[in-house]
Amino acid sequence: MSLVPVITIDGPSASGKGTVAQRVAAALGFHYLDSGALYRLTALAAERRDLRWRDEVDVARLAGELDVEFDGAAILLDGENVTEAIRGESVGIGASIVAALPAVRTALLARQHAFARAPGLVADGRDMGSVVFPDARLKVFLTASAQARAERRCKQLRERGEPADLAAIAADLESRDARDRARAVAPLQQWPDALLLDTTGMGIDEAVDQVCRWWESLLNA
């Protein structure tokens, strides 16, 4: 087991796991890994180099060579701030396409492991507890109803001044989740050793408190 304590928070798109994971990391003074950002960066970089998202060999090579920097909340690709650019819906769809390619996942593995540094790490994604950090001390599967997730994503987009159609967003989330669940490698699913946190009708504070309580009770066990 790794000496660095790791908390994994996996779950479907727009479940709020990113916000919860960041807040838990801040509360505990731990580092934070947004693994979805790596898949989004790969999709964006591929698009910019005119690669097709399904070209496994080329996209995996690119994923292994990405020039990425996480500078606080800012994410840089080839020195350019792409924090906003990677959050677009089309990059999200591209991310779920490149994420289904086994060689791409392998190419991003070492980069993810490098985030596990003292005093600890909170990692969010789809396979953090199952593949990337199987020895994590606390594993959470964070979800919410499809309706609640679509409404949250809609609100996020509108706050950024982007157009947001609830029905189209719900359909997008559904197809992305279906692809994440059905893929052969590292599919999205709640593993038996993960604690379920359903945040439908639950505020962020409550979700963060629950994860912190689980963590404390582990430390006191």
The region of 55-63, 114-122, 124-132, 198-206 touching ligand C5P under the rule CB under 6 A is: 124-132
- Given candidates 176, 207, 211, 215, which one binds ligand C5P under the rule CB under 6 A? 176
* CB of 182 or CB of 219, closer to ligand C5P: 182
- Using CB under 6 A as the binding rule, whether residue 96 contacts ligand C5P is answered as yes
Compute how many residues bind ligand C5P; rule: CB under 6 A: 15
Contacting ligand C5P within 128-157 (CB under 6 A): 128
Beta pairing, strands 80-81 & 121-125:
unpaired
Q: Are 64 and 47 in contact (CB under 8 A)?
A: no
- Nearest distance from residue 35's CB to ligand C5P, in Å? 4
* CB of 84 or CB of 216, closer to ligand C5P: 84
* CB of 8 or CB of 213, closer to ligand C5P: 8
* CB of 9 or CB of 213, closer to ligand C5P: 9
Contacts of residues 129-136 at CB distance under 8 Å and 24 or more positions apart, as own/partner, are: 129/8, 129/10, 129/191, 129/193, 129/194, 130/10, 130/186, 130/189, 130/191, 131/105, 131/186, 132/8, 132/35, 133/2, 133/6, 133/8, 135/1, 135/2, 135/6, 136/6, 136/7, 136/8
Contacting ligand C5P within 59-88 (CB under 6 A): none
- Using CB under 6 A as the binding rule, whether residue 40 contacts ligand C5P is answered as yes
